[in-house]
Amino acid sequence: MTRGTAHPWMANSTPETKTAMLEAIGAPSIEALFHQIPADHRLSRPLNLPPTLSAEVALKRHLVDLLKKNASAEDNLSFLGAGTYQHHVPAVCEEVARRAEWLMSVFGSPMSDHGRNQAWFEFCSLLGELIKTDCVGLPVYSWGAAIGHAIRMASRINGRREALVVKAMSPERLGVVKTNCEPPQMASHIAVTEVGYDPATGRLDMDDYRAKLSDAVAAVYFEVPSFLGVIETEGAEIARLAHEAGAEVIVGVDPSSLGILKAPPDYGADIVVGTLQPLGVPMNAGGGVGGFIATRDEERYAREYPTLMISITETIAGEYGFGLSLFHQTSYGMRDEGKDWTGNSVYMWAVVAAAYMGLLGPDGFRDLGHAIITRAHAAARRLDAIEGVRVVFPSGFFKEFVVNFDATGKTVAEINGALRARGIFGGKDLSAAFPELGESALYAVTEIHTEGDIARLAAVLEEVIR
């Protein structure tokens, strides 16, 4: 920026305007306005930052040049999932997300930001139908954050300080849960105990579960489908046993499965959590994640939510209105006495997810589920047919499956490196987090993958494992 040239983003950067405002307040200079900061607190030199790019033409060129150094899952064929998924993002979702009216909104009032508040309520309402719960909070940072808050809700409800969680869980999510449950040195620590999985099926190890369940357990957490892709079939029994022990049942779901898979309350879930990202949000290098917390509409649960809640109500003229409910129990209302904490989260993604669920409707979710499960199984069968390649849990999965390469004599890292050189992003390497699975990778297949994509993956795999 040339000195003296007004910056395009700052209307008051002309000398005339500054002078006019200074004269109006009777201050000798702008510097005088900073007099309350002691001199020895002040930075004694100008900031030393990279050259200014105040011309949009230069800024755009710079950003594009940098981003071009990335290789995207659009330019390559990707089978990465494990918590962030490559689903089709409907064009309507992008259009809705980029509307400046709500993209640039802050908080406003229920009347002046009525439309955005309605979209938030619609997000909760649409998701509520998909997961069959009457109470849905506004979104939280991520699936992992949702589990963490849900365990803490359960602990506040029954006063217990242990959570049983499935071992077959995303290391990223589990890391967040452990942070949220606090280290053992803290007086309010909640112990996180992992329950193993059956090596034959990938489902929860019921013997291990029974052995670990006790009347000290605040909550039991499992996922459908699990991190390893498997659809848990013992949900009702897991929930029955948990309830018998006085624990709350928390179930994590991928909503893209719920057109064809049972909703968690139908097998006993008390608190449902999960991810928003599959609902029309781009992967964004992991910046697409978002989470939700939902329960029955009972005060026992409602009064423990840390999130903001939006309720439908009416105006003095009888119109629909949408206002915050149970605000006082949040950290805004009660500071350190509030329920955990809340703040900015991923609310724009809630609007996107609402548009996505509105587009799909009941038949869209059914078709989406069919497309995913059919394509995923076709891919698994094809890979399993390759000599040296084995699908570890060959049935009962949804969109992800574990592929083992032990018999090839190659590591997943080697195989993925060779695939990458040929324009394919192989599945997530599980060998570090799940050593018992050997050289295995988690492959994700969604509605975007075609028969040709699967054939290409198989052909290239055959070549690189040789």
Partner 1 sequence: MTGLRRYHAAVWDEPVIMEMGAPGRRGILFPPFEPGLAGASEAGDLIPAGMAREDRPALPELSEPEVLRHFLHLSQETLGMAGISLFGTCTMKYNAPVSEQAAWRPQLAAIHPEQDEETLQGLLEILHEFDLILREVSGMDQFVFQAGGGAHAAYTHCAVTRAYFAAKGELERRDEIITTIQTHPCNAATAAAAGFKVITLMLEEDGYPSVEALKAAVSERTAALMINNPDDMGIYNPHIKQWVEIVHEAGGLCFYDHANFNGVMGKIRARELGFDACMYMLHKTFGAPKGGGGPAVGAYGCSDELAPFLPRPVVVKAGDRYRLDQDRPQSCGKIREYFGNVPQVVKAYAWARAMGAEGIDEASDISVLANNYMEKRLLAIRGITKSHPDNDVWRTEMTRYSFETLKEETGVGVLDVQNRMIDFGIDAFWLSHEPWIVPEPFTPEAGEMYGKEDLDTWIDVLAEISREAYTDPHTVKTAPHNQAIHQLKGDALEDPARWAMTWRAYRRKRAAAAPAAATISAG
Tokens 């993925």: give the residue.
Answer: 416
- As measured in angstroms, the least distance from the Cβ of 457 to partner 1 is 14
Is the Cβ of residue 169 or residue 250 nearer to partner 1 in the bound state?
Answer: 169
**3-state class of 155 per DSSP?**
helix
- As measured in angstroms, the least distance from the Cβ of 228 to partner 1 is 14
Cα separation, 339 vs 156, in Å, equals 9
Cα separation, 452 vs 77, in Å, equals 11
Note the Cα 242 to chain centre separation in Å. 26
Q: Which two tokens stand for residue 313?
A: 């109500």
What residues are paired with 424 via a beta bridge? 77
- As measured in angstroms, the least distance from the Cβ of 43 to partner 1 is 5
Is the Cβ of residue 111 or residue 211 nearer to partner 1 in the bound state?
Answer: 111
Is the Cβ of residue 118 or residue 404 nearer to partner 1 in the bound state?
Answer: 118
- As measured in angstroms, the least distance from the Cβ of 450 to partner 1 is 6
DSSP state of 113: T
- As measured in angstroms, the least distance from the Cβ of 220 to partner 1 is 18
Query: Rounded to the nearest 10 degrees, how much is the dihedral formed by the CA atoms of 423, 426, 429, 431?
Result: -110
Cα separation, 295 vs 279, in Å, equals 20
Name residue 290's amino acid.
Answer: G
Cα separation, 372 vs 13, in Å, equals 54
Q: Which residues contact 41 (CB under 8 A, 6 or more apart)?
A: none
Is the Cβ of residue 215 or residue 333 nearer to partner 1 in the bound state?
Answer: 333
Enclosing H/E stretch for 171: helix 171-181
- As measured in angstroms, the least distance from the Cβ of 304 to partner 1 is 13
Is the Cβ of residue 211 or residue 300 nearer to partner 1 in the bound state?
Answer: 300
Cα separation, 222 vs 214, in Å, equals 17
Is the Cβ of residue 64 or residue 200 nearer to partner 1 in the bound state?
Answer: 64
Is the Cβ of residue 331 or residue 431 nearer to partner 1 in the bound state?
Answer: 331
Tokens 């509605």: give the residue.
Answer: 447
- As measured in angstroms, the least distance from the Cβ of 388 to partner 1 is 23
Cα separation, 456 vs 450, in Å, equals 10
Q: How many CB atoms lie within 10 A of CB 431?
A: 15
- As measured in angstroms, the least distance from the Cβ of 158 to partner 1 is 18
Give start and end residues of each alpha helix (H) in 39-170. 56-67, 91-97, 100-103, 114-131, 143-158
313-349: burial string, b at 16+ Cβ within 10 Å, e else: eeeeeeeebbbbebeebbeeeeeeeebbebeebbbbb
Is the Cβ of residue 211 or residue 236 nearer to partner 1 in the bound state?
Answer: 236
Tokens 């002040």: give the residue.
Answer: 42
- As measured in angstroms, the least distance from the Cβ of 217 to partner 1 is 20
- As measured in angstroms, the least distance from the Cβ of 365 to partner 1 is 6
- As measured in angstroms, the least distance from the Cβ of 14 to partner 1 is 9
In the chain, the N- to C-terminal Cα span, in Å, equals 58
Is the Cβ of residue 10 or residue 216 nearer to partner 1 in the bound state?
Answer: 10
Is the Cβ of residue 175 or residue 246 nearer to partner 1 in the bound state?
Answer: 175
Is the Cβ of residue 215 or residue 314 nearer to partner 1 in the bound state?
Answer: 314
